[in-house]
Structures are given as C-alpha cells and as structure tokens.
C-alpha cells in the first residue's frame, strides 16, 4: 500500500503505514483498507465529515488484529483505538482530534456492539460493514472459514432448523448469524442505499447455495 492511495493525505499515510501490522489474513489486509477508504470517500461526498479524520480512522481501524476465533475478539476495536491514540499522539495530533478518530475506531466493529458518536464514526462503521457484505463479503466469509478450517455447511441441517447457528464450524451459518443482519445497521443515508444492493447479493447467494446443497436446484 502506497501513501499516494490516500491523496491528499499522503504525509499522514506515510507516517501511519509503518505502524500497521503485516498480516497474511487476506480479509483484513491493506486491500481491505483501500476498499474501505474508497467507500468512505463515496459516503463522505454525500454526507460530509472531516476527510482527514476519516483517513486516519480508516488507516488505523484494524491496527490491532484479533483472530475471529480468539476470546479477545470483542475487544478488537478497543485495542485498536488504544494503539491508534499512541500513533496519532506521536504525530503531534491534538487530544480532541485524536479522540474523534479513536472513538470512530472504538465503535466501528460489529463485535463491539456500540453506536458511533460522530459523523466520522458513522461513516467508518458503514464503510467497514459494506466491505463485509455483497460479493466481497461472500468472498471474505469463505476465505475466513478456510483459514479457520470450517466446513462449508452442516450437511445434516444446513438451515439450522434443529440446531443453533455456529459460524465457527460452518461458513454458511455466518449468513443468518451475522451478514444478513447487517443491512439493518447502517446509520448514514448513503450507507443504507449502498447496502441495499449488497444485501440482495448476499441473500441471493445464500438462497441459491441452500437450494443446491438441499437438492432443490
């Protein structure tokens, strides 16, 4: 990832990128940051907000990576916010602007279950969640399932009619357990509009895969 991807905040990106984790997780890599940044810009163009704050929030929102299967998963956003505070303070950021970025990071994650208090936080949360749905969301779901050595689905009960959903063991369970619920949790009008198309893609895939594995198609 090159700082020029974050024009006109190349200097900010150049200062932050060395602090980012090097990871082999293709669902939370630098390409994820770039996708979220592009979506943030699209939402900000319609909703407003401070684009420099958003650039910092995007760059640092996953600066501490916690595996999905880790018991610390629900703390991932809080841990990233604490790390982000140190990075921004080392760059001479004011306490006020640092806290806006950190609050956006602290509240962006689904596992944290928190509501952003700023427009920038709402935009970051919407952009990050948009990357979890649609076609890229489907790809990320099965990529992560492969890394966790999960099965594609439960062959005895793929729709979980007589068992609890378990997306750590069955990739397809992640759709009703989380992904299909995300469409109701967007807090900007632009994010909501973008989510409609991506949620439809999720639903079509889920229904189509169920039809295939149950012999219906």
Closest CA to 118 of 97, 128, 103, 96: 103
Token duo for residue 129: 């969640």
Smallest CA-to-CA distance from 91 within 117, 59, 50 is with 59
Examine the domain organization and report whether 161 and 196 are in the same domain. Answer: yes
Same domain (yes/no): 97, 156: no
State the residue range of the domain holding 193.
Answer: 132-217
Q: For 17-67, what is each residue's pLDDT tens digit?
A: 998 988 878 878 899 999 999 999 999 999 999 999 999 999 999 888 776
Final residue belonging to a domain, choices 120, 154, 185:
120
CA distances for 43 relative to 136, 179, 198, angstroms: 18, 21, 15
Q: In this structure, is residue 73 part of a structural domain?
A: yes
pLDDT in tens, 90-148: 999 999 999 999 999 999 877 767 789 999 999 999 999 999 999 999 999 999 999 99
Number of domain units in the chain: 2
What's CA 115's distance to the chain center, in Å? 15
């Amino acid at each position: 990832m090159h700082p020029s991807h974050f024009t006109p905040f190349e200097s900010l990106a150049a200062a932050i990128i060395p602090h980012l984790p090097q990871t082999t997780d293709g669902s939370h890599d630098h390409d994820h940051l770039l996708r979220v940044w592009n979506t943030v810009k699209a939402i900000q163009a319609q909703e407003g907000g401070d684009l420099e704050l958003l650039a910092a929030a995007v760059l640092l929102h996953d600066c501490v990576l916690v595996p999905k299967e880790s018991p610390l998963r629900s703390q991932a956003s809080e841990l990233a916010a604490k790390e982000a505070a140190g990075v921004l303070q080392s760059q001479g950021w004011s306490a006020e602007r640092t806290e806006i970025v950190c609050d956006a990071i602290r509240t962006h994650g689904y596992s944290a279950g928190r509501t952003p208090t700023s427009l920038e936080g709402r935009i970051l949360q919407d952009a990050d969640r948009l990357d979890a749905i649609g076609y890229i969301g489907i790809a990320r779901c099965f990529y992560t399932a492969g890394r966790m050595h999960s099965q594609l689905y439960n062959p005895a009960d793929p729709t979980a009619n007589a068992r609890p959903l378990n997306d750590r063991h069955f990739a397809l369970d992640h759709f009703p357990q989380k992904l299909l619920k995300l469409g109701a949790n967007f807090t900007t009008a632009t994010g909501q509009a973008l989510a409609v198309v991506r949620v439809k893609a999720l639903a079509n895939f889920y229904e189509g895969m169920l039809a295939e594995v149950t012999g219906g198609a």
